[in-house]
Amino acid sequence: MTVSYRQPGVVLTDRHFTVPLDHDDPTAETIQLYGREVVASDRARQDLPWLVYLQGGPGFGANRFVGRQAWLGRALEEYRVLLLDQRGTGHSTPANRQTLPLRGGPAEQADYLARFRADSIVRDCEAIRPQVTGGAPWTVLGQSFGGFCTVTYLSKAPEGLAAAMLTGGLPSLHAHAEDVYRAAYPRIERKVVAHYARYPQDVERARRIADHLLHHEVTLPNGYRFTVEAFQSLGILLGGAEGSHQLHFLLERAFVRTPRGLELSDAFQEEVQGLLSYAGHPLYALVHEAIYGQDGRPTAWSAERVRAEFPQFDAAKTLTGDAPLLFTGESVHPWMFDCDPALRPLRETAEHLAARTDWQPLYDPARLAANEVPVAAAVYHDDMYVDTAHSLETARAIHGLRPWVTNEFEHDGVRAGGPRVLDRLLALTRDEV
């Protein structure tokens, strides 16, 4: 059953689809996908081309816009839009600590989750496209991991695409997870240095919080074990347009004086647990490194192993001197499955995924070199989440791709930049600039 309803300036329709869990065995088990169709109110009865949006992540459902927020207003000038909740996310069949035990034990859960990478997401798109467009190709907009999926789409099923646009989402075609994080830690350090240059008072604040956590056991109200490593991981904020400011405002109210002395304030702890918890997006933690698995090597907790090559991120060593504490960024570590109550039951499942060696290639360099689909990509200079050098190497490898390299935005430019980013990408795909 489809249900339509209205928000200011738009008509929304809930769309539900059934797809195979394993597209190589279409007669076996199925899962449900959810998509929210959006069309401008004054164009609701028109026959419009389709744009499908692939959210970043992995593990996040599509944006829940109200009206014509961010890039959506620009898209609705020309398209009927499908905001797709990729498998396992949003309102699609969930995959979390509550539902995964239905699969069996940790090994069976890992086998299930191995089908939640970009290759399966692209096959989902191709399975539902005839139901949405009547068989016509559609335009895809991929943000971050959604851009990774778009490169897979260009590799596996370019006939389904009228055009492709990527924002902060051009992956390396060949890099192992180790290579990704070896390139990431220096970028993260630069972002932290830039944050302290903007807010020098945060140097002492961050050191005081880290020192407190090294000498006290702190459990947040939701049961999260708040360690110094968890505190450092709040650096993930620094990859967004407002993240440095958000981190600053968080740090400035960390402590409160109590009869027992200084303690971390309730307000600080409440905000921190919302930032750290994976309860709403556990797939991010479970399959994050698996999105880089292609060459038969296990990912084997690459971010954790590579971090040891950068001792400046060791908080305990930092606090023996007077250097600023370094935050970390977009990476997943084994300790998260001990600290986060939403992830603890899935620790063994994560270990199975980290040990897998049967990952199949996600990209086809030969097919990309012969690409004929109009493609444009926003590459954000010194993007904290996606290495610029990797992105530009891939841009050169995809025939006809037009990159737009800009330092005006951080990784979330397609949101923060409103219609400007999408307007530029559309023009690039049409050779209008």
Catalytic residues: 144, 358, 411
Token output for 4: 């339509």
**Residue 93 contacts residue 32 (beta carbons within 8 Å):** yes
Decide: residue 207, CB within 10 A, 0-12 exposed, 13-18 middle, 19+ buried.
middle
Helix (H) or strand (E) holding 335: none
**Residue 411 contacts residue 144 (beta carbons within 8 Å):** yes
DSSP-assigned letter for residue 333: -
Helix (H) or strand (E) holding 53: strand 50-54
Helix boundaries (H) for 138-176: 145-156
Residue 163 sits at φ, ψ, to 5 deg, of -165, 160
Strands (E), 186-287: 255-258, 261-264
Q: Please report, as a single letter, which amino acid is at residue 425.
A: L
* C-alpha–C-alpha distance, residues 126 and 379, integer Å: 26
Residue 126 three-state SS:
helix
* C-alpha–C-alpha distance, residues 405 and 211, integer Å: 40
- Residue 424's closest CA among 407, 402, 395? 402
Helix (H) or strand (E) holding 18: strand 10-20
* C-alpha–C-alpha distance, residues 51 and 31, integer Å: 23
